Amino acid sequence: MKNIRSTIVVLAITLASLTFARAQDPLPSWNDGPAKKSIVEFVAKVTKPGSPDFVPVPERIATFDNDGTLWCEQPMYFQLFFALDRVKVLAPQHPEWKTNEPFASLLKGDLKAALAGGNHAMGEIVMATHTGMTTAEFEQIVKDWIATAKHPKTGHLLTEMTYQPMHELLAYLRANGFKTFIVSGGGIEFMRPWTEQVYGIPPEQVVGSSVKTKYEMRDGKPVLVRLPEVNFIDDGPGKAVGINQHIGRRPIAAFGNSDGDQQMLEWTGAGSGARLMMLVHHDDAVREFKYGAESKIGTFSDALMAEAKEKKWTVISMKDDWKTIFVFENK
Amino acid sequence: MKNIRSTIVVLAITLASLTFARAQDPLPSWNDGPAKKSIVEFVAKVTKPGSPDFVPVPERIATFDNDGTLWCEQPMYFQLFFALDRVKVLAPQHPEWKTNEPFASLLKGDLKAALAGGNHAMGEIVMATHTGMTTAEFEQIVKDWIATAKHPKTGHLLTEMTYQPMHELLAYLRANGFKTFIVSGGGIEFMRPWTEQVYGIPPEQVVGSSVKTKYEMRDGKPVLVRLPEVNFIDDGPGKAVGINQHIGRRPIAAFGNSDGDQQMLEWTGAGSGARLMMLVHHDDAVREFKYGAESKIGTFSDALMAEAKEKKWTVISMKDDWKTIFVFENK
């Protein structure tokens, strides 16, 4: 009898502490492994007062790519879904699109033919759908669209195709005094209307590509009109430029997933003191998508992999490091 | 005896509460008057839960012009003092400056002749002194300069020629959940090295004019090189553009002092809900400088004054509203 009681007590204590440990884990969707370890060790180092690696709170800047790092980017960038949906909505106002490429192919549902024109065709589609309205109008268009936009393969809301482990990482860093920024090749005004609600990242902490805008008075009220002219491309070397322009200090942690993030990680890593550079590797064909060096979207070249190894950047295996992939899995 | 004791007690209580009231005043350098009243009433409104004018903390954005609003801008913009000092330092590397204008006149000490070339001459001076180095090098140059740079008239450090009432206003707003931003025509990278220490405004909350930068590898380390090419002029309509680009949401309070701030205040005022727009008027010839419509630096035109009246923007009289002007007066 006494033995049984002791056993029960021991069991209860063990269970309680297991539950406690689990509740305490700030990164429950990360499997124990080198990626999780590098995050936890880095945060411990830079937040420990008196440690040689201690970083004051105002300097705890972390930057995140969006497409392929915080949310899915397959079978194509989600912002392109937005552009294609807008082409359909705007088509009645543009009868010329019935014959003009790339719009004609798009409206016939032939995406491949439409995008055969490469960057030029893409640019035409983006400008036709992203400019000509005021910033306030564009914000509302994006808000309305993102509220219901679903993924063609999974049928889930795009905002639930965000990565659960990265949500936990964002929250964990913020709980440790970090300011978290998005630094994405995507449109800055395409992201801002929803990043605060979805990621907890306010508009002023979103850096992205942009078009020029023009201040105008309309009926005695000022508006900013979005012009069909590129202002800034926040990709590749542009990410370092954008970080300097918007944030004005060097991040101590940076997270990406493709060649477009190379310079952001280099720029982050070139500072003195403890640094954390991580690259998400899309290697899970079953739960997400498997792509890398050969992919046109989110290219993770062999050169980037070699640089990551040489510079001791941490490569996150979605397959091995992530217990859960998408936010919707927990719903 | 009893009467005396009572009187002493009453006096003590009165003095204590006066001291208490004074210690509680978050804006001690502001005289009681319409300017101070409009600030206090606005903050009370937007921070009171349940009030129809309540604004959630993340949306409490306040933007401040710098030259003439947070610090003095006479007898010329302080950034020009920086440029002129740099011309002297760099002259030995530029023998051609001995004969080429505007540098030749500058080096002879004839500022008036040098600036006779107007914006073109100014542009040449700025580009020659602000570009060609890396961002890190420029940051260090500014830091070294601002640590000792003094005002030609008062002999005080330029960082102590900042306005005491505006320091109190910045702190008061932040204590009430506001995020405070600088939105200045001045160089973004000229301000960022010192705004955190001087104003409590971190680099990522500074918006200003900028030159283009280029990502380069030097000895295996990435640098950003400052190019002699304008990227953005954050003045006039550019202030609304810059606010949208950097902050991505409309301020609910904006503070300026000249025609260059007109569109920032219009843009701020065009939002719905409670708003506070204020313009510092330099009307104190004794304690600071008296200038306005006729001044080339910090022009406060009659048209702006008329617009302020029509739109109920608050004009701050430095003479009447400010008990103390400069930070150095309290040292």
Mark out chain B residues that contact chain A at CB-CB < 8 A. 58, 61, 135, 179, 188-189, 192, 196, 202-206, 210, 213-215, 221-222, 224, 231, 237-238, 240-241, 244-249, 263, 266-267, 270
Q: Which residues of B touch A209 (CB under 8 A)?
A: none
Q: What is the DSSP letter of B254?
A: E
pLDDT of residue B285: 97
Q: Is the pTM of this model over 0.90?
A: yes
> β-strands B314-317, B179-187: how paired?
unpaired
In whole angstroms, what is the distance from residue A293 CA to residue B236 CA? 47
pLDDT in tens, A226-260: 999 999 999 999 999 999 999 999 999 999 999 99
Give CA–CA dist B125/A189, Å, rounded: 35
B-chain CB neighbours of A61 within 8 Å are: 204
Name the pLDDT band for A95 (thresholds 50, 70, 90).
very high
Beta bridge partners of B30: B322
Give the number of domains in chain B. 1
Cα distances (Å, whole numbers) of residue B270 to A53, B173, B252, B254: 46, 21, 9, 12
Residues in chain A within 8 Å Cβ distance of B231: 245
Among A116-120, B32-36, B43-47, where is mean pLDDT lowest? A116-120
Cα separation, B200 vs B86, in Å, equals 27
Chain B residues close to A215, C-beta within 8 Å: 237-238, 240-241, 263, 267
Is A58 contained in some domain?
yes
Residue B105 placed within a domain: no
Q: Indicate if the pLDDT at residue B27 is higher than 70.
A: yes
Is B114 part of a structural domain of the chain?
no
Note the pLDDT of residue A127.
95
**CB spacing of B204 vs A270 below 8 angstroms:** no
B178 assigned to some structural domain: yes
Q: 3-state DSSP call for residue B62? A: strand
Mean pLDDT of B8-32: 69
Residue B1, pLDDT score: 46
What does the DSSP assignment read for B163-181? BHHHHHHHHHHHHTTPEEE
CB B44 within 8 A of CB B233: no
What is the C-alpha separation between B257 and B305, in angstroms, rounded? 10
Determine the pLDDT at residue A24.
83
What's the domain range around B267?
29-71+154-324
User: From CA A78, how far away is CA A81, in angstroms rounded?
Assistant: 5
- Chain A residues within 8 angstroms (CB to CB) of chain B: 58, 61, 135, 179, 188-189, 192, 196, 202-206, 210, 213-215, 221-222, 224, 231, 237-238, 240-241, 244-249, 263, 266-267, 270
Q: Which two tokens stand for residue B201?
A: 């405004």
Share of chain A above pLDDT 90, in %: 88
Interface test with A, best of B204, B217, B277 (most A CBs within 10 A): B204
Which pLDDT band holds residue B3 (cuts at 50, 70, 90)?
low
Q: What is the mean pLDDT of residues A297-310?
A: 97
User: What integer pLDDT is reported at residue B6 of this predicted model?
Assistant: 59
Which residues are registered as beta bridge partners of A218?
A: A221
How far, in Å, are A4, A42, A115, A153 from residue A76 at the CA level? 59, 33, 12, 11
> CB–CB of B240 and A215 under 8 A?
yes
CB contact under 8 A, A248 and B58: no
Tell the residue number behind the tokens 């790092």, with chain if given: A69
Q: Per residue in A131-177, pLDDT tens?
A: 999 999 999 999 999 999 999 999 999 999 999 999 999 999 999 99
pLDDT of residue A3 exceeding 70, the answer is no
Task: Give pLDDT, residue A1.
Answer: 46
CA distance B190 to B210: 9
* Across B220-241, average pLDDT: 97
Q: Give per-residue pLDDT as tens, A40-62.
A: 999 999 999 999 999 999 999 99
Mean of pLDDT over chain B: 94
What is the predicted pLDDT for the residue at A116?
87
The reply to whether B254 falls in a domain is: yes
| Position A245 in a domain | yes
Please name the residue ranges forming H helices in chain B. 2-24, 34-47, 78-90, 103-107, 111-114, 118-130, 135-146, 164-175, 188-199, 237-246, 262-269, 302-310, 318-321
**Pairing outcome for strands A253-256 and A61-64:** parallel
Tokens for B233? 């002029």
* pLDDT 10s digits, A8-31: 555 555 555 555 555 589 999 999
Q: What is the Cα–Cα distance from A269 to A63, expressed in whole angstroms?
A: 12
3-class SS of residue B191: helix
Chains A–B, number of C-beta pairs less than 8 Å apart: 85
Q: Which of B213, B246, B270 minimises the CB distance to A222?
A: B270
Exposure class string for A242-264: b at 16+ Cβ within 10 A, else e: bbbbbbbbbbbbbbbbbbbbbbb
CATH number for the domain spanning B179: value is: 3.40.50.1000
Chain A hits for B245, CB-CB cut-off 8 Å, are 188, 210, 213, 231
Please tell me the predicted confidence (pLDDT) of residue B15: 54
Residues in chain B: 331
> CA A226 to CA A211: how far, in whole Å?
7
**Does B58 fall in a domain?**
yes
Q: Is B130 a domain residue?
A: no
